[in-house]
Structure 1
Amino acid sequence: MEVYGEALIITGAWIQTIGAGVAAIGNTLIANNEEDSETVGGELYVLGNAIEATGNTLQAVGRSKLPLSSDHEVLGTIGTWFQAAGNVANVVGGSQALTGGGNDGLEIDVLGDVIQSAGAAFEATSSSFSNSAYADLITLGQTIQSLSVAIEAIGLLYIKRGDVKLGQQIVALGSYGQTAGAALDAIGFTKGFTSKE
């Protein structure tokens, strides 16, 4: 059961990284303000967050397959579920924005980013207690994710206030940070698993 759980965690981490990358590309297209790029960018943002939610869900299921020997491991599992829930909120908010739901979509999107940021912070706290040789790398990746998603939320608040161009640039910056953090996290989990073999 433990190997199965670890395989789900690694698979989910890489899927999350791919989703974060897709969302970052979408956010970049939106920030470029070219004709038709906002629709394509918005669709990529929604798709990327759906992929991320899938990856986070796989990680949460994988964590639940591992023996939970401490409270910090439970906190990590809660964190992955929070991230998945935040991604789902981003999908809903992004979809509403695409269909003309404007402010409501932005509010849901901000909420999704806040939930994701909290989830990544929970995971980082959990990972900091891990005995893995790569715990520092995993913790760093999750911390970068938490901070980067918070930056995305700040960008969305700028957009909501009417400073759209700056807000879009901040969101794009945050989404690339999230992709980098997710990649570090995935690398750390992969190295930790392969070093056990």
Structure 2
Amino acid sequence: MHDLSDGVARFQHDVFPGKAGLFAHLAATHRPATLFIGCSDARVVPELITQSEPGELFVIRTAGNLVPAYTPGPDGVTASIEYAVAVLGVTSVVVCGHSACGAMTALAEGTDLRTTTAVAGWLRHADASLARLPETGPDRVDTLVRENVRAQLTSLATHPSVARALARDTLTLHGWVYDIASGTVTDITPEARTRPEAGPVGDRPAAALTH
């Protein structure tokens, strides 16, 4: 905890005073424009990648950036999605995968997960992604990362709050892949997930979202 304590001290002494006005505003206001669903991997930091200020992103992080399809009943991911969309009124959702993802690597390489039963159970939410993976190929992990982002966008759309916002055309869904080594962020959003005015969609550098 020593290093973390030093970080808190630097934040309070060096960072906070320069943003005191922002934090005073945020103390009474919570209006993020974007829900960012990313991996729990420590190398993937949404605010750093997007250069967002505090208050601009509502963040959900799960192993493998997985989004379970909607089912009734209490669930932390579902509750967070519903709160962001139905209560906070975010206008964009990003599902962001990344290179060298441990969860996707385990699935692509058939890692034995019998000693980590909770992990194995959670990764079942990537079954649809795995079904799209070619049996052979040199880029199986990278391919699975991309297919998984697309599959999680499909799962996301099963959530009632998301489906309603999409029907009202008040929400757009975006699929990104972040490459750790190069810092590249690629937009792989299927065309149906964006508003018509977004134009043609394919693998491309991710444009900045409006916060």
Q: TM-score, normalised by structure 1?
A: 0.29
Structure (1 or 2) with the greater helix fraction: 1
Q: TM-score, normalised by structure 2?
A: 0.28
Largest Rg, 1 or 2: 2
